[in-house]
Structures are given as structure tokens and as C-alpha cells.
Amino acid sequence: MLELQGKHIVLGLSGGIAAYKAAELCRSMVKEGATVQVVMTEAAEHFMTKVTMQALSGRQVFGSQWDDTPASGKNGENIANNMPHINLSRGADAIVIAPCSADFMAKLLHGRADELLSLLCLARQTDKVPLILAPAMNREMWANPATQRNVAQLKADGITVLDVGEGDQACGEVGDGRMLEADEILADLVAFFTPKSLLGQKVIITAGPTYEAIDPVRGITNLSSGKMGFAIARAAFEAGADVTLIAGPVSLATPRGVKRVDVKSAKNMLVAGVKYADYATIFIASAAVADWRPANLADQKLKKDGTGKVPELSFVENPDILATIAQSERGKKGLSGMPDGLFCVGFAAESQDLLANAQAKRIRKGVPLLVGNIGPATFGQDDNALLLVDAKATKELPPNGGKASKRDLAQQLVADIAARLGVQA
């Protein structure tokens, strides 16, 4: 799946050591299906060569407003009128400046246009070509009131200013101001272009397994990797939602823009779920929660004593997180389709009889939508197949059978939920 298929991006480089990251960003955008036209300031050429950027983009790199090389349009057509500051932005889906220095931001703010990159930013069709900035500078430069005023005004002017990273800087200092990594900027671009079908929605998602302790070193868990839930969290954020991800013990990175709450046991997940569901509009229970836990937690490690006797374990049922939230006052309103209700989506990981088990679980839990899958076939994998079950019908994802990536399925599920809620992108 190519995340930027069909997009034409003008990638501008201003001066700064972070220009080396632009090479990886360019490569990543091309790999995701975009065509990339690179434009560099004179200062940027002190940090990165045109040869490098041309090799990675597959296009002539522009640096001078006086360059009479025919400019290539979105579809590769040549435009030979000695106006690169006009031609390069026409047909672009976005102009991305990465790195964007403090000086270049100040230049954009005041409409200065004394070289090609600032010229084409000023000459872009503001209603058609968004401008996205990835700031990069020393921590003191970033914190300076002048820079912060500039950032605020640029945002007010409709320009998208991405966050900065925090950490070691080339100057030897540590703090805010680093340019985001290439994969972070790429994720932000994908989110930028995604239709905002869940704009204004507050989504809570549970993901991963739970862990029920037997003693201080042993416990009961399952093979869920959390990949499906994390993919849903990312897709929901990209669709414009405010997303909180309640994660069991997994080693996955938190999706960009998503708030994460780490929990361990089913009881921990229930407490967090109830707390955050209070302000949510959508609750998606994709976690594989343990049905039972040991009745008694041993204070010390249970040891073999050489007799061959096996410790006897007794179990108690864990609280039903989905049913508890779905049968709350707001959950019941959501089931009835009331506007102030909580729309609850359950997941069923089965090993057999998926349709029958999913239908029964949907009724038992009291949710409007139940998503079923075969657990042993998907736990830990990057692909999956889903069966959506509501009160009237069933729906397979992917539509024609087989499997699809969890990333793709998450986007389809989010689109389906948005449609059920009557939200228009």
C-alpha cells in the first residue's frame, strides 16, 4: 500500500545541519508513491548536494530563480518559460520545507522573496497548495520569543507548522528544536492528506493482551501483539479524531499524535477504560483481555520441591470491560443511536465458528458493532481478515475475501465506523 500514491510534493531545503534528514525524507516519500521536486536555497547547498537530492528524487533539483532549465510539472511535462517560481508550485499537492530554519520562517512571515524557494512559496496558489514547515534550529533559537511569535502568525496565516523534536543537537546542547525524523514527518504528511472523517470525535481504543500474575515472576497472557489496535489508533488519529490508546504489555511504538496509557492486567484496563470512556464518543475494544485470573497471587516465586507435586491454581473471572462500558448509561444511548451516546465496537478473537460466535457475543455484550477474526491466524501477524457483525448484516474486510494488511483494514474499519455515525469527510 503506497501511502502517498499520486501526490506531487515540492520538497524545499533551507540551510541547516538537519538537511541530511531531507535525503531520507525524499527517499521515503518516493517509496510511498509520491513524485518529489526538490528546491534548495544557497544555504542548504552548504549542507547537502544537489547531486544527492537529484539521485533520490529522480528529478532536476532547482536552486536559482534565474535557472532557465525547463521545470517539470506533476506529470513530468516540461514548462520552458524561465519562471520556475511559478511553474514548480503549479500542480503540487503540497510544498514541504524540511528543514525550515528560523531565518526562512521569518522570511515567509514577512513575504520576502529574494531567492527561488521563498519566491515559489509566495507565488503558490494558497487555496490549492498547502505549505508545511518542519522547523529545525538550536533550542535557544526555537525558544526565542521572536521565533514563537513567527510560528504563531504562520499558523494564523494557514501554514502548517509541524512539531519539533527534543534531544541532542549538533551544537552539543540538548533541548527542543531538532527537526523531526524522516519517518515522523512522513507520518504527519500521510495524516495531513487523510480525509478527516472522524473530526471532532474522541476515540478510546484498547489494544494488546493483558497479563494476570501468578507469582512475582510468572503470569497468564496470550499471543496478541496489539498490532491491530495500534493500527486502528493511527487510522483514527489520521481521520481527525482525538485518540487515547489503552495498551496492554506490548513493545510497539506509539502512533504519531496518539495519547497512550499503559496497563497490565484486565482490572487495570477496566479502570482506565471506564475513566477515559467518560469523555469519549467512540470506544473500540480490540484488546485480547484474559477471561480469568488466578484467585490468589503468590507473594514469592512458586518453586519445585523435588516431589513432583504441581501447585494447584484456582481462577476467578475477570471483569468484562466491553460489557461494563457498553451497558453504561452512555453506552446504552450509543446502542440506541442517540447523539450524546458512546458508540461501542467490540472485537472477538475466535478459533472456530467465527460468525456464530461473533453474533452471539455482539448480543451478549450489547454493542452495535462486533468485529470478529480468527485469533490463531492473526496474532503477531501483519495481516488479518475481519468480519463486521451488526444487528442487520455481516460484512467482510477485505470485501473479496483473503487477507489484507492490518494498516489497510484499520483504515477500512475507521471509514466504516464514520459512515455508521453519519460523519462526512
Amino acid, res. 218: R
Residue finishing a domain among 126, 158, 193 = 193
Domain boundary among 165, 193, 221: 193
Residues 136 and 206 in one domain: no
Asked if the structure places residue 2 within a domain, the reply is no
Q: What is the pLDDT of residue 86?
A: 81
Angstrom distances, CA of residue 40 to CA of 44, 90, 252, 425: 6, 17, 36, 35
pLDDT in tens, 2-47: 999 999 999 999 999 999 999 999 999 999 999 999 999 999 999 9
Q: How many domains would you assign to the chain?
A: 2
Choose the catalytic residue: 26, 121, 171, 344.
171
One domain, residues 345 and 364: yes
- Predicted TM-score (pTM) of this structure: 0.90
pLDDT for the residue 339: 78
What is the pairing mode between strands 8-13 and 94-100?
Answer: parallel
Separation between Cα atoms, residue 288 and residue 322, nearest integer Å: 11
Check residue 80 and give its pLDDT. Answer: 61
User: Mind listing the pLDDT tens digit for each residue in 79-99?
Assistant: 666 677 788 888 899 999 999
% pLDDT > 90, the chain: 72
Question: How many degrees, rounded to 5, is the angle at CA 253 between CA 252 and CA 256?
Answer: 140
Q: Is the pLDDT of residue 411 over 80?
A: yes
What pLDDT does 90 receive? 86
The domain that contains 51 carries what CATH number? 3.40.50.1950
pLDDT above 70 covers a percentage of the chain that reads: 96
Residues 376 and 319 in one domain: yes
Q: Where are the alpha helices (DSSP H) in 91-226?
A: 102-110, 116-123, 139-143, 145-156, 182-193
Q: Which of 193, 224, 259 is a domain's end point?
A: 193
Give the number of other Cβ atoms within 10 Å of residue 252's Cβ. Answer: 17
Q: What element of type H or E holds 376?
A: helix 375-378
Give domain status of residue 425, yes or no.
no
Q: What tens digit of pLDDT does each residue of 250-286 get?
A: 999 999 999 999 999 999 999 999 999 999 999 999 9
| pLDDT value of position 284 | 97
Residues 53, 141: one domain?
A: yes
**DSSP assignment letter at 171:** T
Residue 382 has pLDDT above 90, yes or no: no
Question: Do 74 and 127 lie in a common domain?
Answer: yes
State yes or no: is 344 an active-site residue: no
Task: Give strand pairing partners of 165.
Answer: 178
Asked if 287 and 269 count as a contact pair (C-beta separation under 8 A), the reply is: yes
Q: Tell me: do 34 and 151 sit in the same domain.
A: yes
- Distance in angstroms (rounded) separating the CA atoms of residues 193 and 111: 26
The parent domain of residue 119 ranges over 8-193
Q: What is the pLDDT averaged over residues 404-415?
A: 95
The contacts found for 51-60 with CB under 8 angstroms, 24 or more apart, are 52/23, 53/11, 53/13, 53/22, 53/23, 53/26, 56/23, 56/26, 56/27, 56/30, 57/11, 57/26, 57/30, 58/30, 59/35
Mean pLDDT over all residues of the chain?
Answer: 91
Pairing of strands 242-247, 202-207: parallel
CA distances from 60 to 136, 143, 214, 283, 413 (A): 25, 36, 63, 49, 40
- Residue 412 resides in a domain: yes
Identify the band that residue 424 occupies on the pLDDT scale cut at 50, 70 and 90: very low
Alpha carbons 278 and 286: distance in angstroms, whole number: 18
185 shares its domain with 330: no
Q: What is the pLDDT of residues 304-355, one digit of tens each?
A: 888 888 888 899 999 999 999 999 999 999 888 787 899 999 998 877 888 8
